[in-house]
Amino acid sequence: MSEETVIKDHWALDFPMTEHSDKNEYVSFIEDVVSGDLKLINDKNSDILIFDQSDSRKNDFEFELFAIPEYSKTFAIQKRKYTAKTQKWIGYVIDIKENSFIAHLEELNDSTTYEIGEFDKFEILPDDLPLLSIGSTFYWSIGYLTNNSQRKKESTIKFRRLGNLSVEDFDRIKDKADNLFESINWEK
Amino acid sequence: MELDFPKKYQAEITLIGTGGGYGECVVAHLGNNNWIIVDSCINPETKAPLALEYLSKLNVDLKKDVKLVLCTHWHDDHIKGISIILKECTNASFAMLRINDIKKFCLFLSFDNNKELIVSQNVSTSEFYKVLEIIKERNIQPQFASCDRILYSNRLDEICDIEVISLSPSDFSIMNFDREITNLLKEFSLSNKKIVPELPNSKSVVLLLKLGTHCALLGADLEVHIDDRIGWLSILNNSQSIRKKSSYFKISHHGSENGYHRRIWDEIIGNSPVATLTPWNISTKLPTIKMLQKYCVHTDKLYMTSPVVNSKPKKRSWDEMKMIEKLGYKLTEVKYNKGIIRSRINLSDNNAIWETLLLDSAFHVNAEFQPLGQ
Amino acid sequence: MLLEKRQIYNFSLVALGDFNPKIIQPFWLANKGLIGEKEAEDANIELIHSELVKYSLTWVDIQIQQNRFELKSSQEPYFESIRDLFIGIFSKLQETPMKSFGINHIMHFSARDEQEMFNIGNNLAPLNNWDMLNNPRVLNLEIVENKRSDGFDGKIRVKIQPSDLLIGSNMGFSISINDHYSFQEKNQTTDNVLKLISSQWKSSFNSAQEIINKLEEKLFRL
């Protein structure tokens, strides 16, 4: 088992599988499918094949389906986007107007003085709009984006999603608060 | 410029401003090497607390001679670096605005500080939390500031008595603050948002410094409210501590209209006092020219730590500026502009007047202005 | 100069430990408030299996095996979001044993021409030491900082090789920096790991930049 946290190959060389550094695991995966330990749970003609543990060892599939060239279609190299000359800020919302919002911005590479900027609400993805409120934090970046051999200037706003508090989180924080309260000699 | 240490029987009040976006603080010498620090602000470039920077230049023994550190407001913007101050000033007691439901306040701080793990930018109360941890570690008792509460007193040899008295917040403001904490818990703590403070500011701690026969009033950020149970009207109507008019006034809330009431100047401030203020230079600009002219009528010794300036974009490389411009954005920088107004008075002389020294960007407002009607 | 030549910046967070890949599916992330619901619906799923889960969102590729957890992106605007996602996931999975993590910076720089590529290789590993070979060229060079200068356990590995993304007339080279932290205790608490990532985040980027700056002087020496 690899003890390294390094990325062994670049994206392009992650696939096809014969050159993949983790190919042993994929080979054993194929063996599981062939032996029937794994079953396909969606359409075998799909581009994406999704597997789960079998109830029985019965195997419906022909081995040829999982020959390397066919199998590697499942792991097609994705088209990637690349960025360059990126400037980044972290901001929080200090005022919301009808069509825009104002934010306090700190440049990630220069956290000395801060800036104030105004942004169009339309720049926010619909999925992120519910996150827009006073105090919500976001990352803002500008730079060049290369996609499918096209390069253009781009601005990106991504609101931070930091997870909901669970009951365990709540209890843990409450314990900490109680401990803080009890360990200080407060005036009566 | 080389700074000189105040004499034994010399009181000093030094207002340090940062240009209107990075906070303010007051450092005061109460005679005989006894210092207090009110609030904290940092140099955004070095992140060092400006109060400590100032006191270190004077070679003040921080471990011994700072007797009181006071926080007029709980939000980080008012007290950035105060935990570093308290850590250094090992002999200082700590005072903060009174809170009734302390347990709930601790819960509020703990929830907010839970965000620290993710990224500290979201935490709005980290300084306060760190202060409480220091208090816990040192096993000292924090003092609560409220109306007419003596936070520090000392007899300066046979010369005079020194007292630091809080005049606010009022009992009603304290009650409102408990309600505000509940709302803040609901709105901000259970989410990952950064807390943006509620206005107007009715909880800020105003301090009266009784320096023998002289008095000084530090107005912090307190505002005037329609409801006379809170803000300045509550002090004017209810305070029992003000027996003499002050000859020094640190004007509240950046000289805003909300921080002004004629009664303050008529009833508790003396004629032509030393009046100091810091600007507010973010989206709104304070003080306005109208207010400055008004203050100039009250005194010919009006000083400001730095001027109100027009906001401009941050200096960056041509490429970076072009990119921002081409994408249609307009960013304005909140500039850091340090200014210091140091005022001293001889405590052994009942007729002494304040002597003021201006450093860095601080300036004499009257010299730039004609008062209204003149 | 090198910054001007940088065409691609790929980034990944890799952790080694004991994971349960099947838990960390897109809808689990949405349920925990770590991604949006629409993002979860639109996730590009390649494989969901108890031993291997692999899918991508518009801004991050996620690959989880039983002993290895990987988040990667080729878009700089989202690098901090990768950190947030990592911390968010393991804040929810507090009992996950982790033995190490790596912050990987892989940058690709364009080269003017073949002569420049040759000079870079020759500056890194003088080829006159290899005159027993016909027409020697440097294929790749990897150097490890065996003992971290910041006192943490782990290593920093720097690898330089021809770029496999900048090829042909647009040739270039890549510099990969693996900022690796390991833990002496067999399994570090999740909280400590997350605190370490948070505290080391900025310095990892600063160190990577410093390495690049220092290399610049050496790579382009005539």
pLDDT range class, residue C205, cuts 50, 70, 90: very high
Q: How far is C190 from chain B (nearest CA, A)?
A: 12
Amino acid at C15: A
Q: Looking at residues C84-94, what average pLDDT do you find? A: 92
**Calpha distance B247→C189 (Å, rounded):** 59
Asked if residues A124 and A130 have their Cβ atoms less than 8 Å apart, the reply is no
May I ask the CATH class of domain B10-368? alpha beta
Chains that touch A (3 or more CB pairs under 8 A): B, C
Residue with tokens 């005539």: C222
Chain B positions touching C80 (Cβ under 8 A) are 119
Asked if residues A123 and A112 have their Cβ atoms less than 8 Å apart, the reply is no
Domain limits of chain B?
Answer: 10-368
Q: Are residues A16 and A66 in the same domain?
A: yes
Give residue B229's pLDDT.
95
Whether A2 and chain C come into contact, CB under 8 Å, resolves to yes
Give residue B192's pLDDT.
72
Site from A1, A2, A3, A5 to mutate, C interface, most C CB atoms within 10 angstroms:
A5
Closest-CA residue of B relative to C34 is B192
Is residue A20 assigned to a domain?
yes
Residues 6 or more apart from B196 whose CB is under 8 A from it? A92, A93, A94, A134, A135
Q: Are residues A69 and A85 in the same domain?
A: no
Chain C positions touching A126 (Cβ under 8 A) are 38
Give residue A10's pLDDT.
41
Q: What contacts 24+ positions apart, CB below 8 Å, involve C33-40?
A: C33/A161, C33/A162, C33/A163, C33/A164, C33/C88, C34/A161, C34/A162, C34/A163, C34/C85, C34/C88, C34/C89, C34/C92, C35/A161, C35/C85, C36/A125, C36/A127, C36/A128, C36/A161, C37/A127, C38/A126, C38/A127, C39/A127
Is residue C52 assigned to a domain?
no
Query: In which region does residue B220 sit, left (phi positive, over 0), alpha (psi from -120 to 50) or beta (all else)?
Result: left
- pLDDT over threshold 70, residue C207: yes
Is residue A145 assigned to a domain?
yes
Residue numbers of the domain that contains A61: 11-75
Closest-CA residue of C relative to A13 is C164
List pLDDT tens digits, range C140-166.
899 999 888 888 989 999 999 998 888
Both tokens of A111, joined, read 């956290």
Is residue C32 assigned to a domain?
no
Q: How far is A80 from chain B (nearest CA, A)?
A: 23
List pLDDT tens digits, range B226-271.
999 999 999 999 999 999 999 999 999 999 999 999 999 999 999 9
Q: What contacts 24+ positions apart, CB below 8 Å, involve B313-318?
A: B313/A115, B314/A107, B314/A113, B314/A115
Is residue A167 assigned to a domain?
no
Choose between A73 and C60: higher pLDDT: C60
Closest-CA residue of C relative to B121 is C198
Half-sphere exposure of C88 (CA within 13 A, CB side): 23
pLDDT range class, residue B121, cuts 50, 70, 90: low
Q: Which of residues 89 through 108 in chain A touch C, CB cutoff 8 A?
A: 90, 108
Whether B323 sits inside 8 A of A85 (CB atoms) is yes
Closest-CA residue of C relative to B192 is C33
- pLDDT over threshold 90, residue B7: yes
Asked if residues B220 and B166 have their Cβ atoms less than 8 Å apart, the reply is no
Is residue C26 assigned to a domain?
no
Both tokens of A27, joined, read 């080979």
Is residue C27 assigned to a domain?
no
Residues of C with CB under 8 A from a CB of B: 80, 83-84, 87-88, 91, 191, 194-195, 198
Asked if residues C29 and C43 have their Cβ atoms less than 8 Å apart, the reply is no
- Percent of chain B surpassing pLDDT 70: 95
Backbone angles phi, psi at A122, to 5 degrees: -65, -15
- pLDDT over threshold 90, residue A3: no
Chains that touch B (3 or more CB pairs under 8 A): A, C
Chain B positions touching A117 (Cβ under 8 A) are 329-332
Q: What does DSSP assign to residue B7? A: P
Map residue A168 onto helix, strand or coil: helix
Q: How far is C214 from chain A (nearest CA, A)?
A: 19
Q: How far is B239 from chain A (nearest CA, A)?
A: 22
List pLDDT tens digits, range A109-120.
888 999 999 999
C97: buried, middle or exposed (CB in 10 Å: 19+, 13-18, 0-12)? middle
Whether A182 and chain B come into contact, CB under 8 Å, resolves to no
Q: Looking at residues B58-64, what average pLDDT do you find? A: 97
**Calpha distance A59→A64 (Å, rounded):** 13
Q: What number is the ipTM of this complex? A: 0.90
Whether C176 sits inside 8 A of A4 (CB atoms) is no
Whether C178 sits inside 8 A of A6 (CB atoms) is yes
**Calpha distance B170→B236 (Å, rounded):** 11
Q: Looking at residues C167-182, what average pLDDT do you find? A: 89
Whether A186 sits inside 8 A of B141 (CB atoms) is yes
- Buried b / exposed e over C206-217, threshold 16 CB at 10 Å, is ebbbebbeebee
Q: Looking at residues A52-63, what average pLDDT do you find? A: 44
Residue with tokens 């700089």: C76
> Mean pLDDT for chain B?
92
Map residue B133 onto helix, strand or coil: helix
Residue B192's closest CA among A54, C206, C4, C91? C91
Site from A3, A4, A6, A136 to mutate, C interface, most C CB atoms within 10 angstroms:
A6
Q: How many CB atoms lie under 10 A from the CB of residue B347? A: 24
- pLDDT over threshold 60, residue B367: yes
Map residue A55 onto helix, strand or coil: coil
Q: Are residues A149 and A89 in the same domain?
A: yes
Q: How many CB atoms lie under 10 A from the CB of residue C178? A: 23
Is residue C25 assigned to a domain?
no
Asked if residues B37 and B94 have their Cβ atoms less than 8 Å apart, the reply is no
List pLDDT tens digits, range B312-351.
999 999 999 999 999 999 999 999 999 999 999 999 999 9
Give residue B185's pLDDT.
85
Counted domains in chain A: 2
Asked if residues B305 and B362 have their Cβ atoms less than 8 Å apart, the reply is yes
**Calpha distance B52→A112 (Å, rounded):** 19
pLDDT range class, residue A61, cuts 50, 70, 90: very low
Both tokens of C1, joined, read 């100069």
Residue numbers of the domain that contains C136: 2-19+67-219
Q: How many CB atoms lie under 10 A from the CB of residue A49? A: 19
Give residue A85's pLDDT.
87
Residue B221's closest CA among B86, B92, B97? B97
Give residue C35's pLDDT.
95
- Read off the CATH number of the domain in which A154 is found: 2.40.50
Longest Cα–Cα distance in chain A: 80
Chain B positions touching A139 (Cβ under 8 A) are none
Q: Are residues A87 and A34 in the same domain?
A: no
Both tokens of A82, joined, read 């690349």
The shortest CB-CB distance from B143 to any of A85, A163, A187 is to: A187
Half-sphere exposure of B278 (CA within 13 A, CB side): 29
**Calpha distance B27→B89 (Å, rounded):** 13
Give residue B211's pLDDT.
97
Q: How far is A124 from chain B (nearest CA, A)?
A: 15
Counted domains in chain C: 1
Q: Looking at residues A149-165, what average pLDDT do you find? A: 89
Residue with tokens 């825009």: A100
Residue with tokens 């996609």: A147
Q: Which of residues 69 through 88 in chain A touch B, CB cutoff 8 A?
A: 85, 87
Chain A positions touching B313 (Cβ under 8 A) are 115
pLDDT range class, residue B294, cuts 50, 70, 90: very high
- pLDDT over threshold 50, residue B69: yes
Choose between B305 and A77: higher pLDDT: B305
Give residue A72's pLDDT.
31
Is residue C82 assigned to a domain?
yes
User: Which range (A109-113, B214-218, B337-341, B359-363) has the least confidence?
Assistant: A109-113
Is residue A125 assigned to a domain?
yes
Map residue B158 onto helix, strand or coil: coil
Asked if residues A68 and A18 have their Cβ atoms less than 8 Å apart, the reply is yes
Give residue A21's pLDDT.
40
Chain A positions touching B107 (Cβ under 8 A) are 173-174, 177
pLDDT range class, residue B139, cuts 50, 70, 90: very high
Is residue A179 assigned to a domain?
no
Whether C194 sits inside 8 A of B117 (CB atoms) is yes
pLDDT range class, residue A14, cuts 50, 70, 90: very low
User: Which range (A17-31, A99-113, C200-214) has the least confidence?
Assistant: A17-31
Closest-CA residue of C relative to B319 is C4
Give residue B283's pLDDT.
78
Is residue C139 assigned to a domain?
yes
